[in-house]
Amino acid sequence: MQAVDRPLPAMTCPEPVRRAVMVQRWNDVVFLHWRYDPAVVQRLLPDGVTVDEFDGSAWVGLVPFRMDGLGIPGLAPLPMVGSFPEVNVRTYVRAGRRRGVWFFSLDVDRHLPAFVARAAYHLPYFAGSAMHRRVGDLLDTRVERRWPAHHAPAHTALTVQVGAAIDGTEPLPRFLTSRWGLITSTRRDPERPGSLRYAPVDHPVWPLHAAEVLHLDDGLVAAAGLPRPETRPHAMWSAGVDVRVGRPVRI
């Protein structure tokens, strides 16, 4: 039976964040995505969270970017932790009437924001050495995971070349980038579900470009419990957007 896709996500935030608890900017964002069998991804999700499909597939992303200006609205960016590289592994899900991003991992080069995000948002942050740098139209990303120590080491090494602007309203780019919240659980074990939380995220429409992967040696996707990708990813780049994050609410 052919899969029937649900309507595409809205191009703008359907529930604008009126009172942000956090502001930030995401710069030089690379979107790499692979198709997966929905059942393979679903087994890693807790009860109440369902894979959001496009063209009959789940989509798993490796997304490096630079976090800048992280802080509380009306105040200066947080000293020492306001800017840093981040690389996340993610998929797209539904929980009740909400649809959003589910993070398998988020790697940064700072222990403090990793610890705080684990405690406050129940997000699987990791710390180690991380770099994300653009020179002209080339972007280089490197990660070596080191904390928490009880997790197996993981890494990524990526070089991407930025191409021409593309239409972000096309179905696949829209499905992969028009995401207006994150969904988390107080437990990460699918067999021991905790309560679900949704945090709204508001930002302008992504300005998108095509991208070409020149080099990729990645272990972060496999470290999330997924089969190692065997095909070339769908690749895009964005200069970035300003972001407002709302207070998490229970689903």
Rounded to the nearest 10°, the torsion over CA 166, 171, 174, 177 is -90
pLDDT of 16 higher than 60: yes
pLDDT category of residue 111 using cuts at 50, 70 and 90: confident
Cβ-based burial of 4 (10 A; exposed 0-12, middle 13-18, buried ≥19) = exposed
Structure letter (DSSP) for residue 186: S
> What CA–CA distance (Å, rounded) separates 107 from 128?
7
Mean of the pLDDT values across residues 236-246?
Answer: 96
- What does the block give as tokens for 24? 């930030």
- What does the block give as tokens for 23? 């502001």
Mean of the pLDDT values across residues 137-159?
Answer: 92
Domain boundaries, the chain: 22-250
Residues 25-61 as b/e (b if ≥16 CB within 10 A, e otherwise) read bbbbbbbbbbbbebeebbebbbebbebbbbeebbbbb
- Using alpha carbons only, how large is the chain's radius of gyration in Å? 17
| Nearest of 123, 142, 131, 154 to residue 85 by alpha carbon | 131
Q: Coil, strand or helix: which one is 113?
A: helix
| pLDDT tens digits, 151-201 | 878 999 999 999 999 999 999 999 999 999 999 987 655 555 568 999 999
| Nearest of 77, 19, 18, 32 to residue 229 by alpha carbon | 32
Is the alpha carbon torsion for 83, 89, 95, 100 positive or negative?
positive
How high does pLDDT run on average in the chain? 90
- The residue with tokens 């302008």 is 204
| Nearest of 114, 20, 60, 49 to residue 233 by alpha carbon | 60
Residue 184, CA distances (Å) to 17, 28, 140, 214 in order: 18, 25, 29, 33
pLDDT of 207 reads: 97
Homologous superfamily (CATH) for 22-250: Acetoacetate decarboxylase-like (2.40.400.10)
> What CA–CA distance (Å, rounded) separates 183 from 161?
31
pLDDT of 113 reads: 72
pLDDT category of residue 79 using cuts at 50, 70 and 90: low
| pLDDT tens digits, 39-69 | 999 999 999 999 999 999 999 999 999 999 8
